[in-house]
Structure 1
Amino acid sequence: MTARLNVLIVDDDDLTAEIVSRSLKKSGIDFKVIHASDGQEGLEIMRGQSEKRIDQPFVTLLDLNMPRMNGFEFLQAVRADPGLSSAVIFVLSTSDSDSDLVRAYRDQIAGYLLKSAVGPQMIRLTTLLGDYAHSVRLPPLPH
């Protein structure tokens, strides 16, 4: 069982990141939240190449539609990196496209969540991550 779950939010929408962060903090579960504004920044954080640090264990909440490096490019880079390939990534997107859903699962995501379906207060997302934190053991990523 994980005592603390760290969450990396990779999303260019600052408002979504703020809502998710506030919702997780209000849940009473011990979450530490780090925000990356695009896939490139997210990779730098995961690789330890940023001033922002994320401690293990962590999960990533990934938006698909972002500038500079989109979610699919991020997924491909993570899965191709031996030090990151086992990272746990959930997609949190506005895209309801079946092709996006299938493509994301091909890149071994842990789950695909629609922003509209998790609610404006992100209650379903908070519940999911809380249950996940208390039920699943995550291995450390190799260095």
Structure 2
Amino acid sequence: MFTTNLVPMTILLVEDDEVDIMNVKRAFKKNNISNPLQIAHNGLEALEVLRAPATDIPKPKIVLLDLNMPRMGGIEFLREIRQDPELSTLSVFVMTTSNEDGDKIDAFNLNVAGYILKPLSMDRFIAAVSTLNSYWTLCEYPE
């Protein structure tokens, strides 16, 4: 678990596929990642979560983002948050099945922290989430 001033950091998963959501939850459990995980099923829902008034759950500082979603896809969501001064510093990791160079270029031009192709096997997915967790725990985040 990674924290900010000993408060567990919340992670926002933006994913429309229920199987992928369950896989992320399973990978978190296998890696003993106990950070709160908020779920949004598309970019519009994610913006609602991020722009909602403060609650007991700290605002997410890390976003795991799928690209191919209904209503508002990942690239459109990235454009929106990068233009918003309140959200522009979010660390976003793309986790997608899209291996298109255009998607990778668009994502990196919008300052993603990483672009990860969803592996087919659960073991590889668990290993990928473990690597992300190692990265997060090494990073310092502003308050």
Same fold (TM over 0.5): yes
CA contact (8 A) 1:8 1:54 kept: no
Relative to structure 1, the CA distance from residue 25 to residue 54 in structure 2 (aligned partners, 3 Å threshold; closer, same or farther) is: farther
1:10-89 counterparts in 2 under 5 A? 10-48=14-52, 55-56=58-59, 58-89=61-92
Greater shift in the superposed pair: 86-95 or 24-33? 24-33
Structure 1 vs Structure 2: percent identity of aligned residues?
38
TM-superposed deviation, 1:41: 0.3
Pair 1:112 & 2:135 matched: no
Deviations 1:68-115 (A, max 9, x none): 001011001100111000100000000001111011000000000000
Count residues with an aligned counterpart: 138
- Please tell me the residue identity of whatever aligns with 1:10: V
Relative to structure 1, the CA distance from residue 138 to residue 56 in structure 2 (aligned partners, 3 Å threshold; closer, same or farther) is: farther
Higher relative contact order (CA 8 A, sep 6+): 1
Residue 104 (structure 2) aligns with: 101
TM-superposed deviation, 1:50: 9.7
CA contact (8 A) 1:12 1:36 kept: yes
TM-superposed deviation, 1:56: 4.3
TM-score of the superposed pair, with normalisation by structure 1: 0.86
Give the one of 97, 117, 128 matched to 1:125.
128
CA contact (8 A) 1:39 1:68 kept: yes
Relative to structure 1, the CA distance from residue 31 to residue 125 in structure 2 (aligned partners, 3 Å threshold; closer, same or farther) is: farther
Q: Which runs of 5+ in 1 are unaligned?
A: none
- Please tell me the residue identity of whatever aligns with 2:26: R
- Give the RMSD, CA atoms, in angstroms: 2.3
Residue 95 (structure 2) aligns with: 92
